[in-house]
Amino acid sequence: MRPPDEALIVIDVQNDFCPGGALAVADGDAIIPGLNALMSEYACVVLTQDWHPADHASFAVNQPGHAPYDTIAMPYGPQVLWPVHCVQGTRGAEFHPGLNAAAGQLILRKGFRAAIDSYSAFFENDHRTATGLDGWLRSRGIGKLTLAGLATDFCVGYSAQDAARLGFAVEVREDLSRAIDLNGSLAAARAAMRAAGVALVG
């Protein structure tokens, strides 16, 4: 087992991000056996779940004149528009059935406010609205985080950068993560994570 001040955060391993899903990440399901094995090493495991209302502002269908993967200006900054995905209560929003979700002690849902997206598990995309995860981890004595899941260049990447800025020691298991890689987003996310002090391992 890992030391008691370490936690594993498994990001968005949901049906819609796996092959056959609405926003499928190439090979997204290939990481699941490794994630299950890794979860068994940690006394503290958090699972995040992208959890959007059907009228969510990040869905291209809700932005007339725009198509998926366009970027638009939102009041809180640039926002990539996505196909409809991870709608609350749908099968696409459920964890992949192969994931041992029972190992998670906290399921943190994010992106549930229609007007704002939330890639990071710590802050919504305005970089100000907190999810409360920082306090949850701190009050459990956690200081070191391992992150893995989907997608490396969006929810894993933003979560890792925020965690490092909040003062956690952070490593991202790249071998247990997969990327969307939109217009160079993977290279950009890797550089931004490194600049924030995140260790890219695996």
Up-side HSE of residue 78: CA atoms within 13 Å toward CB? 4
Structure tokens at 172: 């991202």
Q: Which amino acid is at 17?
A: F
Name the residue number minimizing CB distance to Zn ion: 50
150 binds, among ligand VGL, Zn ion, none (CB under 5 to 8 A by kind): ligand VGL
Structure tokens at 60: 């291209």
Q: Out of 18, 38, 155, 163, which residue is the one contacting ligand VGL (CB under 6 A)? A: 155
Active site residue 86: no
Catalytic residue among 12, 16, 50, 134: 12
State the first-to-last Cα distance of the chain, in angstroms, to the nearest integer. 18
| Footprint (CB under 6 A) of ligand VGL, residues 29-88 | 50, 82
Per-residue contact string for residues 155-194; x = within reach of Zn ion by CB under 5 A: ----------------------------------------
Q: In angstroms, what CA-CA distances link 182 with 70, 71, 112, 128, 179?
A: 10, 11, 23, 25, 9
Q: What are the φ and ψ backbone dihedral angles of 71, each rounded to 5 degrees?
A: -110, 130
Q: Which amino acid is at 114?
A: A
* Size of the chain in residues: 202
CB of 3 to ligand VGL, least distance (A): 28
C-alpha–C-alpha distance, residues 59 and 114, integer Å:
10
Catalytic residue among 86, 110, 117, 134: 110
151 touches ligand VGL by CB under 6 A: yes
Helix locations, the chain, DSSP H = 32-39, 133-139, 157-165, 185-195
Q: Which is nearer to Zn ion, 42 or 154 (CB)?
A: 154
116 touches ligand VGL by CB under 6 A: no
Q: Which is nearer to ligand VGL, 120 or 146 (CB)?
A: 120
CB of 44 to ligand VGL, least distance (A): 21
**Active-site residue list:** 12, 110, 155
Which residues lie near Zn ion (CB under 5 A)?
Answer: 50, 111
Which residues lie near ligand VGL (CB under 6 A)?
Answer: 12, 17, 50, 82, 150-151, 154-155
